[in-house]
Chain A
Amino acid sequence: MRLQLIAATLATLSLASPTWAQSTTTNRVDVYSDGDITVISPSTRTSVSIGDKMRVEGGYAVDIVSGATRVVSTDLVSSATTFDEVRHQPDLLLTVLPSDRWTVGFALAAGLESDYTTVTFGPSMSVELFGKMSTLSVSYMVAHESWGLSSGEPVEDRARGHTLNVGWTQLLSRTRVLTIQLTGMFADCGDVLGCQANPYRFVPLGTNQTLATVRERHPGTRYRGAARVQLAQVLTRGLALQAGYRFYGDSWEILGHTADLALAATLLDDRLLLRASGRFVWQGAASFFAERYPMTVALGEVPRYRTADQELSSLYGGMVSLRVAWSFLALGPLLRLEIGARVAHHWYQYPEFDARPERNAWIVGGGLRVEL
Chain B
Amino acid sequence: MAGRGDPVTSRVLVAALIMVATLALSSMGCAPIPAYKRAMLMQRVVHSAECPLAVRFDAHVHQTREAMAGATGNGGPSCGCN
Using a CB–CB cutoff of 8 Å, the interface residues on chain A facing chain B are 2, 4-5, 8-9, 12-13, 15-20, 26, 28, 30, 32, 41, 43-45, 59, 61, 63, 100, 126, 128, 130-135, 163, 165, 167-175, 177-185, 219, 223-230, 232, 234, 237-240, 242, 244, 246-256, 258, 262, 264-266, 270, 273, 275, 281, 283, 286-288, 305, 311-312, 315, 317, 323, 340, 342, 344, 346, 348, 359, 361, 363, 365, 367, 369
Q: In the assembled complex, which residues on chain B have CB atoms less than 8 Å from the CB atom of A30?
A: 53-54, 57
- Let me know if B58 and A251 touch, CB within 8 A: no
| Contacting residue for B27 out of A128, A170, A239, A244, CB 8 A | A170
Q: Enumerate B37-65 residues with CB–CB distance to A below 8 Å.
A: 37-38, 40-61, 63-65
- Which residue of the partner chain, among B6, B22, B54, B79, contacts A177 with CB atoms under 8 Å? B79
Contact B78 A8 (CB under 8 A): no
In the assembled complex, the CB of B51 is this many whole angstroms from the nearest CB of chain A, namely: 5
- Min CB distance A261 to B, Å, is 12
Q: Could you tell me the distance between the alpha carbons of A193 and B37 in the complex, rounded to whole angstroms? A: 56
Taking a contact as CB atoms closer than 8 A, the residue among A18, A32, A128, A287 that contacts B61 in the complex is A32
- Chain A residue at minimum C-beta to C-beta distance from B32: A131
Complex partner residue of B12 from A133, A168, A174, A247, CB under 8 angstroms: A247
A-B contact pairs, 28 of them (CB 8 A): A8-B59, A17-B78, A18-B76, A19-B42, A19-B47, A20-B82, A26-B53, A30-B54, A41-B57, A131-B33, A134-B80, A165-B71, A172-B26, A173-B33, A175-B41, A180-B19, A180-B22, A181-B72, A225-B13, A226-B68, A232-B46, A234-B46, A250-B8, A251-B8, A311-B64, A359-B65, A365-B54, A369-B51
Shortest CB-to-CB span from A276 to chain B, Å, is 11
10 further contact pairs, Cβ within 8 A, besides A32-B57, A286-B67: A13-B52, A17-B78, A26-B51, A126-B78, A130-B32, A177-B79, A254-B8, A283-B67, A344-B58, A369-B51
CB-CB under 8 A from B13, the residues of chain A are 225
A264→B43 CA distance, assembly (Å): 11
- Please report B residues at the A interface, Cβ cutoff 8 Å: 1-4, 6, 8-9, 11-13, 15-16, 19-20, 22-23, 26-27, 30, 32-33, 35, 37-38, 40-61, 63-82
Which residues from B are CB-within-8-Å of A178?
23, 26
B52 engages A223 (CB within 8 Å): no
User: Are B73 and A181 within 8 A (Cβ)?
Assistant: yes
Min C-beta distance of B24 to chain A, whole Å:
10
What residues of chain B lie closer than 8 Å to A12, measured between beta carbons?
A: 52, 55, 59, 72, 74-75
Rounded to whole angstroms, the CA-CA distance of A226 and B51 in the bound complex is: 23
Chain A residue, CB-CB nearest to B38? A174
- Helix, strand, loop or mixed for chain A's interface? strand
By a CB distance below 8 angstroms, the chain B residues around A181 are 71-73
Q: Is the CB of A175 within 8 A of B40?
A: yes
Q: Which of B3, B52, B56 has the largest number of chain A CB atoms within 10 A?
A: B56
B39 to chain A: closest residue by CB: A174
Which residue of A is nearest B56, CB measured? A9
Output the least CB separation between A319 and chain B (Å).
8
Contacts of A219 in B (CB 8 A): 1
A211 to B80, CA, bound (A): 62
Q: Which of B40, B55, B56, B73 contacts A244 (CB 8 A)?
A: B73
List of A residues within 8 angstroms of B81 by Cβ = 18-19, 132
| A249 touching B12 in the complex, CB below 8 Å, given contacts A226-B68, A256-B66 | yes
Residue pair A224, B69 in contact (C-beta under 8 Å):
yes
Q: Is the CB of A249 within 8 A of B52?
A: no
Q: A18-B47, A182-B16 are in contact. Are A4 and B56 (CB under 8 A)?
A: no
Docked Cα-Cα span, A312 to B49, in Å, equals 29
B81 vs chain A, min Cβ distance (A): 6
Q: Evaluate contact between A225 and B9: CB separation under 8 angstroms.
A: yes
Q: Which residues of B lie under 8 Å from residue A270 when comparing CB positions?
A: 43-44
